[in-house]
Amino acid sequence: MIWKRSAVLRFYSVCGLLLQGSQGQFPLTQNVTVVEGGTAILTCRVDQNDNTSLQWSNPAQQTLYFDDKKALRDNRIELVRASWHELSISVSDVSLSDEGQYTCSLFTMPVKTSKAYLTVLGVPEKPQISGFSSPVMEGDLMQLTCKTSGSKPAADIRWFKNDKEIKDVKYLKEEDANRKTFTVSSTLDFRVDRSDDGVAVICRVDHESLNATPQVAMQVLEIHYTPSVKIIPSTPFPQEGQALTLTCESKGKPLPEPVLWTKDGAELPDPDRMVVSGRELNILFLNKTDNGTYRCEATNTIGQSSAEYVLIVHDVPTTLLPTTIIPSLTTAPVTTTVAITTSPSTSASSSSRRDPNSLAGQNGPDHALIGGIVAVVVFVTLCSIFLLGRYLARHKGTYLTNEAKGAEDAPDADTAIINAEGSQVNAEEKKEYFI
Ligand SMILES: *[C@@H]1O[C@H](CO)[C@@H](O)[C@H](O)[C@H]1NC(C)=O
Ligand SMILES: *[C@@H]1O[C@H](CO)[C@@H](O)[C@H](O)[C@H]1NC(C)=O
Ligand SMILES: *[C@@H]1O[C@H](CO)[C@@H](O)[C@H](O)[C@H]1NC(C)=O
Ligand SMILES: *[C@@H]1O[C@H](CO)[C@@H](O)[C@H](O)[C@H]1NC(C)=O
């Protein structure tokens, strides 16, 4: 039994050793990706090695390193680490032609190998935008092309206008002369309008070799368009004698300047009172004769545009003269007239806010006297009503209490108490109500 068990144990341990040996006795490598011009490190590991030699060779099957001994004369290739467990080498200033399958060999019998693929990324050049000829007229079709060469794999191009991505673009990819990298281009077609003037169009190239910092090209658009004109008056209600400023707001590219003012299709009739400065027309002291249609005209190299403003000079509101109104109106409106004579602009609000009686005294002894009498009469009436009310309330209370006392005549004591209590409650309620 004991022998049997130990034999079984020995059997397993031998199997384990064999398994471990075969598992560890082979080279391990990993694929490597490097950006063109960078440094690639190729590592080959052997977990269990009984002093067997390791070797790295390139895609052309040339030996680069045999253990720690350099085999190929290339200063870009250097030894990083050499031991029985590892052979690591570095390739600096990697070029696209270095791409391919590298082999690590372990010289057991037979030789065991492991492949590592070296991928070299081609960095896209700074993109260029073509197709913009300045200036462009509004309504024209614009075709911009953004191009970048040297990317491997082919780079991605995206367009942005005012930070908003434009999706509908044409993408084209072609192989470069080296047959390894690509030239990619993207074309953007759109009809321009005035809102595109001054807008920055950005072409953005994203690529894995760029480390999350994309390459960009920018084109600021310049769109020429006919002027648009608008007249803005300084006041919505021009009155005789006031000054009025009309501002001619004109947009356009090139900027239309100066603007031309006319009245009823002719020159401004009174240059002394109608002064044009820049985009503004200032009319000093409006007169009824200034009524008419004022026109502002703006012209640039593309075209012309105009706007019109119909001026109606309103009367100064002088209709509410105090002398014409006082005799025909009673006390309250008279105070309104007083308010108007002191401050015409706030007449409406002041008349509605003020208590007519409070100002009555100012308008002469007659009104004061009438007011006083009315006040006294009203006061006396109010006092009488109040006193009468108090008197009636007290009287009613007494009457109800007496009625409660009358409950003594009830047929039995219970009824008497119920009657008395009910009435008392009623009396209390009524008293409270009347006082
Ligand atoms: C490996 O080589 C070292 C000396 O470099 C030696 O000491 C060791 O015994 C060798 N091991 C085997 C398994 O041959
Ligand atoms: C290494 O790269 C080669 C070639 O691109 C590929 O076939 C293989 O699957 C890659 N191996 C690993 C472990 O990624
Ligand atoms: C308006 O113009 C007329 C004629 O030019 C003039 O007689 C009149 O006094 C002016 N009125 C005012 C309020 O300036
Ligand atoms: C100007 O317009 C006002 C308001 O319509 C009118 O009362 C006035 O008579 C007009 N004056 C002239 C000279 O047309």
Residue at which a domain ends, from 277, 311, 345 = 311
Residue of 51, 52, 53, 108 with the most ligand 1 atoms within 8 Å of its CB, for mutation: 51
Contact 298, 320 (CB under 8 A): no
Strand partners, 45: 28, 86
319 in a structural domain: no
Residue nearest to atom 14 of ligand 4 (CA): 291
Could you tell me which of 178, 186, 183 has the C-alpha nearest to residue 202?
Answer: 186
Average pLDDT across each block of 10 residues of the chain; the chain has 435 residues. List them in order: 44 41 76 96 92 94 95 95 95 96 94 96 96 89 95 96 91 94 95 93 95 92 94 94 94 89 92 92 93 94 93 80 42 34 35 40 53 64 67 50 44 48 42 41
Give the number of other CB atoms < 10 A from CB of residue 329.
12
Pocket flag, ligand 1, residue 51 (CB < 6 Å)? yes
Cα–Cα distance measured from residue 304 to residue 229, given in angstroms and rounded to the nearest whole number: 9
* 268 and 207, same domain (yes or no): no
pLDDT at 43: 97
In the reported structure, the alpha carbon of residue 68 is separated from the centroid of ligand 1 by a whole-number distance in angstroms of 16
In Å, how far are 34, 133, 149, 244 from 157, measured between CA atoms? 22, 22, 12, 56
Pocket flag, ligand 3, residue 239 (CB < 6 Å)? no
237 in a structural domain: yes
242 in a structural domain: yes
Residue at which a domain ends, from 221, 252, 281 = 221
* 105 and 168, same domain (yes or no): no
Q: In what order do the strands lie in the sheet with 32-35?
A: 32-35, 112-121, 100-106, 54-57, 63-66, 69-70
* 216 and 232, same domain (yes or no): no
* 244 and 209, same domain (yes or no): no
Q: Say how many Å lie between the first and final Cα of the chain, rounded.
A: 119
Could you tell me which of 136, 96, 141, 114 has the C-alpha nearest to residue 42?
Answer: 114
- Smallest-distance ligand from the CA of 102: 2
pLDDT at 339: 33
Pocket flag, ligand 4, residue 312 (CB < 6 Å)? yes
Q: Backbone phi, then psi, for 419, in 5-degree steps?
A: -55, -50
pLDDT at 353: 40
Atom number, ligand 3, closest to the C-alpha of residue 240? 13
Q: Which amino acid is at 163?
A: D
pLDDT at 3: 44
Contact 99, 120 (CB under 8 A): yes
Residue ranges around ligand 2 (CB below 6 Å):
31, 117
pTM for the whole structure = 0.59
Pocket flag, ligand 3, residue 289 (CB < 6 Å)? yes
In the reported structure, the alpha carbon of residue 338 is separated from the centroid of ligand 3 by a whole-number distance in angstroms of 30
Pocket flag, ligand 3, residue 240 (CB < 6 Å)? yes
290 in a structural domain: yes
340 in a structural domain: no
Cα–Cα distance measured from residue 328 to residue 161, given in angstroms and rounded to the nearest whole number: 72
* 210 and 246, same domain (yes or no): no
255 in a structural domain: yes
Q: Which pair of structure tokens corresponds to residue 360?
A: 């009555």
* 232 and 214, same domain (yes or no): no
Q: Which amino acid is at 34?
A: V
Pocket flag, ligand 1, residue 75 (CB < 6 Å)? no
* 115 and 160, same domain (yes or no): no
Residue nearest to atom 13 of ligand 1 (CA): 50
Atom number, ligand 2, closest to the C-alpha of residue 101? 4
Residue nearest to atom 4 of ligand 3 (CA): 289
* 213 and 234, same domain (yes or no): no
Q: For residue 57, what is the domain's CATH number?
A: 2.60.40.10
Contact 343, 350 (CB under 8 A): yes
Contact 119, 32 (CB under 8 A): yes
- Smallest-distance ligand from the CA of 292: 4
Residue nearest to atom 12 of ligand 2 (CA): 31
The H-or-E segment that residue 81 falls in is: strand 77-82
- Smallest-distance ligand from the CA of 84: 1
Atom number, ligand 1, closest to the C-alpha of residue 51? 1
Residue nearest to atom 1 of ligand 1 (CA): 51
pLDDT at 170: 93
Query: Which domain range does residue 297 map to?
Result: 226-311
* 273 and 209, same domain (yes or no): no
* 238 and 292, same domain (yes or no): yes
Q: What is the 3-state secondary structure (H, E, C) of 260-295?
A: EEEECCECCCCCCCEEEECCEEEECCCCHHHCEEEE
* 179 and 162, same domain (yes or no): yes
Half-sphere exposure of 111 (CA within 13 A, CB side): 11
DSSP letter for each residue of 299-360: E-SS-EEEEEEEE-PBPP-----HHHHGGGS-HHHHHHHHHHHH-GGGHHHHHHHS-HHHHG
Give the number of other CB atoms < 10 A from CB of residue 17.
10
Number of domains forming the structure of the chain: 3
Residue at which a domain ends, from 170, 187, 221 = 221
Contact 281, 294 (CB under 8 A): yes
pLDDT at 90: 97
191 in a structural domain: yes
338 in a structural domain: no
Q: Which pair of structure tokens corresponds to residue 28?
A: 């391990």
pLDDT at 330: 38
Cα–Cα distance measured from residue 10 to residue 386, given in angstroms and rounded to the nearest whole number: 125
* 238 and 202, same domain (yes or no): no
